[in-house]
Structure 1
Amino acid sequence: MSTTKNNKLMMLLLASIFILPVLLAKLALDNDWFNQAATNKGELLSPIVDMSLLQTTEQVPKWKLLYVLPEVCSVKCENALYSIAQVRSALGKESDRAEVVVITHEKSNIAQLAQLKEKQNIRFLNTNIKSLQQMFKETSTDAIFIADTLGNIILRFPLQIDEKQAILDSRDILSDMRKLLKLSRIG
């Protein structure tokens, strides 16, 4: 009698060893007990913003660091322009696979635009406010963006007033760009 009791106990113990982890995993998933494995630092846009309205025919597809030049270029604007230029430079040998693109419109800051045109390695896309609003329906243009080689804007990074915070955020942008370039065979 004790052997049958021991056998039943052993079977229950053995079954619990296999069933208990599955039940715990199910509970953890249902109750969000762990941090999901997102490694990007920027905000993943959902839905993705399609910039095909602004695209011109390009010879070589490249990843894009995008910024929409506002009407008034404040400290946040200057930090953003500095950040994207520094990120592209920091890509080193991969910098030829990415480009800095500044989107301008009829109300963009003329003085800032003149200063930017003196710098190299910046491409300008000129559009109108209506097209921008149509493109960025659900997303504010007050940010730095990363677009893929097909013209899909996929990541958004907030602008910073504080210069030190802007530099720290540049590291996040650089980290995401490096990951994207490493995973991409295009551009």
Structure 2
Amino acid sequence: MGTAINPPDTPHAIAPATRRRGRLQLILILLLTVGPMVLATGMYKLKFWVPESRSYHGEMIGNGQSRAALGVATDEQRWQLLVTAPQGCAADCQQLVYLARQLQIGLGRDASRASHGLAVAQPVSADYAAKLQLEYPQLQRYTLDLPTYAQGAEGNGAAQLWIIDPHGNLVLRYGPGVNGKDVLNDLRHLLKLSNIG
């Protein structure tokens, strides 16, 4: 007497509605993960939906320029308040040098995360050099390479104050008449957001 062999169970075919729902879920997951990156890249590259308001007071340098583009050679590893003076350090330059020192002091407990410097294309006067040595002992002094500065700074020849990150990237630029409180707010904000320097 033979026994009947039952054929093995065949897998049930997936219903078309279930298959559609699975595909829709996969598409939604991809859109949620990749979509924001594509949107952000598009906003950056094509400059759309960019808010008009801003929280900083200086001119943002967002083109990847480094301190070397200003014609200043240094390996400073902290945030830096750098005053550049292509025409010599006259009254507006001297005011910015004073402001840079006051800003560093104004950082309080974060003062060690920043430095202040002066880059000039021409030597300063003997009187001002003596004053710098006496009153600004921590001021770093550099020679400004004028041809490089003329190409990279896009300035009008006036003294300027720059905020430079610890990697040497130019972040913000200010002219001679800048309000010190605004620069201090910008610098504090950058230090708060930064894990470097």
Name the TM tier (shorter chain).
0.5 to 0.7
More strand by share: 1
Q: 2-side partners of 1:74 and 1:54: how far apart?
A: 19
Preserved CA contact (<8 Å) 1:69 1:109? no
Partner of 1:186: 196
Pairs within 5 Å for 1:100-179: 100-105=116-121, 107-111=122-126, 112-118=128-134, 119-136=136-153, 138-140=154-156, 142=158, 143-160=160-177, 169-179=179-189
Query: How many aligned positions are there?
Result: 144
Please say which structure displays the higher CA radius of gyration. 2
Structure 2 unaligned blocks of 5 or more:
1-47
Partner of 1:39: 55
Matched, 1:98 2:89: no
Q: 2-side partners of 1:48 and 1:140: how far apart?
A: 21
Q: What is the TM-score with the length of structure 1 in the denominator?
A: 0.67
Instruction: State percent identity of aligned pairs.
Output: 26
2:101 is paired with a residue whose SS is helix
Partner of 1:83: 99
Q: 2-side partners of 1:44 and 1:150: how far apart?
A: 16
Name the Cα RMSD after superposition: 2.5
2:80 is paired with a residue whose SS is strand
Q: 2-side partners of 1:173 and 1:79: how far apart?
A: 14
Structure 1 runs of 4+ aligned residues shifted over 4 Å read none
Query: CA-to-partner distance for each residue in 1:43-89, whole Å, 9 max, x for gaps?
Result: 1124343213533344xx20010101344433322221111111000
Q: What is the TM-score with the length of structure 2 in the denominator?
A: 0.64
Preserved CA contact (<8 Å) 1:85 1:100? yes
Query: CA-to-partner distance for each residue in 1:115-151, whole Å, 9 max, x for gaps?
Result: 2233212111224322322432x34453211011111
